[in-house]
Amino acid sequence: MVEQAKDQTNPLLERLRFLCIASSNLDEFFEIRVAGLKQQVNYKAVQLGPDQLSATEQLQRISTTAHRLVAEQYRILNEELIPALSHEGIGLMHQDQWSMRQRSWVRRHFYGELMPVLSPIGLDPSHPFPRILNKSLNFLVSLEGADAFGRNSGIAIVQAPRALPRVIAMPTELANGRLEFVLLSAIIQAHVEDLFPGMRVTGCYQFRVTRNSELFVEDEEVEDLLRALEGELHQRRFGDAVRLEVSDECPEQLTRLLQNEFGLGEDDIYHCQGPVNLQRLMTVPDFISRPDLKFPAFIPSRHRRTPINADLFDVVRRGDLVLHHPFQSFAPVIEFVRQAASDPHVLVIRQTLYRSGADSPIVKTLVEAARAGKEVTVVVELKARFDEQANIELAHQLQEAGAHVVYGVVGYKTHAKMLLVVRREGKQLRRYAHLSTGNYHPQTTRSYTDFGLFTCNNTIATDVQRIFQQLTAPGRTGRLKKILQSPFTLHSGILALIQRELEHARQGRPARIVAKMNSLVEVQIITALYAASNAGVSVELIVRGVCALRPGLPGVSENIRVRSIVGRFLEHSRVFYFQNDDAPEVYLSSADWMGRNFFNRIETCLPIEERRERERVIKEGLESYLLDNTRAWELGSEGAYTRVASGGSPQDAQLQLLEQFREAQPTI
């Protein structure tokens, strides 16, 4: 994302968004990954990572890389983006840039909107250091003089309530024909002395603390997972500190005060040459109506088989249907649930919800279906990281409507994306299923690439029913016939498919593997891919995130190529292709090739059996990305990515897919 922020071929405001996303991703990395390593150090764990580094050694390397990354982020902001924005008439104004009229407006804004909600706290024996919320904006203020009670602690803390916007647009009449923005931090710093009347402020410095945000709920030891999580969510805001960000001009003495207060080491301190939370700048593009500085607007097309008001049950009966998001609209999925909810012939609706959004139209429809007397069962994954609170609220809504709500299987996250509808048609019951590589979240379907399959194939739909039975009731449902499932058959199934390609290669038959996923780290899978490469199998991997496999190593992985596509949309789909002696098999999956997905989650991996839809997935989800020479990065044998040189005509997979589907019938 940092490279995307630097890329001048991206529109300017999108570059700012990419920088904010990079900051957000780094926050989560510290909250979860760094926090976990720090716990290992505290518990004196001796287990080494796959790279044979101890937790302490990993933290040292992370600190070096992260400090370099943070410095680069602020360099991009200060030296590239802010000057470029200013050139376009968009300003992030510093105090010394305000005119007299602007200063008057800022002062009125401070007194009218900020001062009533700010609670400065002086540090003295009766006012200990306040609890600092995770990732909240705070100010360390140094003071001189005594107050009305003769107190002179010299130090105070000002906490900015989270409800306050971090970026404020200057009124148009004061902006001199430009779009000018003022940061909340600048307004507070300009008027912080007004919070301490009769005293002299000698310094005011932003700081932010990142805390351990992993939830600690022992599944086996709680009787009610929902209540346990509700109690744990409050503690997340005050977990152990793992990182301290301070403004670059903060004196060393005051930085040490904060460091000691939070129990952090020298490597945990990050000096920021700008706002301590770059993610807050994400709101800036929303204020600006400049299409020339953003990606072109697009409307997802409707699949030609799903025109508005189509009977989707009839559509699916006529054949399997694959939707490719965000290029094709997610609306048919929502409409399918709505039609099921209102159809008198529908008896049962079952669905998994991992991330669905706080105001999900699907959840509202499930509520209506339950109130209408349908048998509605929803598997809500309460431990979907950072969506726990939203999922708890959704669970309450569904339960109050009369839906059956369960939370999956103790010890296993339900990460599978499944929808099952049972409908009476004449004298028989027919099952309709939808399975996806992504979540039932209308917003992310506009920014993540994913595939979803509608089918009434009886074998696949029966497999889906059996998985729901596993999730809701004890017992053994038997082996699934078509779907590979974690934690039971997915890992062994993928290994068997890789081994089959290896055997084809040894026999001189066509053998090729193409796999697209978010992460590849599972050791046995990597070992199997190395063996396949040595047998002559062509292995082409499209891995957006972490890849622990090294391609191109002599005698190990000479036939393996790894690339990553980083573009406008986040690549999220998991697609696995096996040539199988020119009888190709293609699978869509909710799972990456990671240990947690194979062994600690409920996941699905299903074959695309109809030739027409299988060829679509191969062409749109794999071949176009293998040809991309615009947004592609190649992984070298030393473990570093380099951008693919654009040779010949430019190929941009995402852009080409947008153009391809633009000619189709538009959605509303």
Region 645-660: what's the mean pLDDT?
89
Which of 18-32, 147-161, 309-323, 488-502 is predicted with the least confidence, judged by mean pLDDT?
147-161
Q: What's the residue count for the chain?
A: 668
Domain residue limits, the chain: 2-293, 312-481, 485-662
**Greatest CA separation found in the chain?**
91
State whether residue 547 is helix, strand or coil.
strand
Please report the pLDDT score of residue 668 as a whole number. Answer: 40
CATH number for region 312-481 = 3.30.870.10
d(CA 658, CA 324): 11
pLDDT score of 383 more than 70 = no
Q: Percent of the chain at pLDDT above 90?
A: 73
pLDDT score of 387 more than 60 = no
Specify whether the backbone of 49 is left (phi greater than 0), alpha (psi in -120 to 50) or beta. beta
Name the token pair of 296: 């072109």
pLDDT tens for 30-80 read 998 899 899 888 877 667 666 678 889 999 999 999 999 999 999 999 999
Phi–psi pair at 624, nearest 5 degrees: -65, -35
Phi–psi pair at 411, nearest 5 degrees: 90, -5
d(CA 478, CA 73): 52
Please report, as a single letter, which amino acid is at residue 304.
Answer: R
- If DSSP states are collapsed to H, E and C, what string results for 352-378? EECCCCCCCHHHHHHHHHHHCCCEEEE
Please report the pLDDT score of residue 368 as a whole number. Answer: 92
| Per-residue confidence band for 470, with pLDDT thresholds at 50, 70 and 90 | very high
CB 423 within 8 A of CB 343: yes
Please report, as a single letter, which amino acid is at residue 663.
Answer: E
Q: Which residue is it, tokens 């590979």?
A: 484
CA distances, 468 to each of 309, 464, 476, 590 (Å): 29, 6, 12, 16
pLDDT tens for 110-144 read 999 999 999 898 887 666 888 889 999 999 999 98
Phi–psi pair at 496, nearest 5 degrees: -65, -40
Please report the pLDDT score of residue 478 as a whole number. Answer: 77
| Per-residue confidence band for 223, with pLDDT thresholds at 50, 70 and 90 | very low
Q: Is 87 a catalytic residue?
A: no
d(CA 145, CA 193): 12
pLDDT tens for 551-605 read 999 999 999 999 999 999 999 999 999 999 999 999 999 999 999 999 999 999 9
Please report the pLDDT score of residue 154 as a whole number. Answer: 86
Q: Calculate the average pLDDT of the chain.
A: 90
pLDDT tens for 140-199 read 999 988 766 666 778 999 999 888 999 999 999 998 889 999 999 999 999 999 999 888
CA distances, 4 to each of 1, 19, 449 (Å): 5, 8, 18
Name the token pair of 547: 């890849």
> Are 2-293 and 485-662 the same fold in CATH?
no
CATH number for region 2-293 = 3.30.1840.10
Considering the segment(s) 485-662 as one domain, its CATH architecture is: 2-Layer Sandwich (3.30)
CB 269 within 8 A of CB 257: no
The single residue of 109, 415, 441, 504 carrying the catalytic annotation is 415
Secondary structure (DSSP) of 10-42 = S-HHHHHHHHHHHHHHHHHIIIIIIHHHHHHHH
Contacts of 283 (CB under 8 A, 6+ apart): 165, 166, 167
Q: What is the dihedral of CA 599, 602, 603, 609, to 10 degrees?
A: 120
Instruction: Say if residue 83 is preceded by a cis peptide, omega within 30 of 0.
Output: no
| Per-residue confidence band for 666, with pLDDT thresholds at 50, 70 and 90 | very low
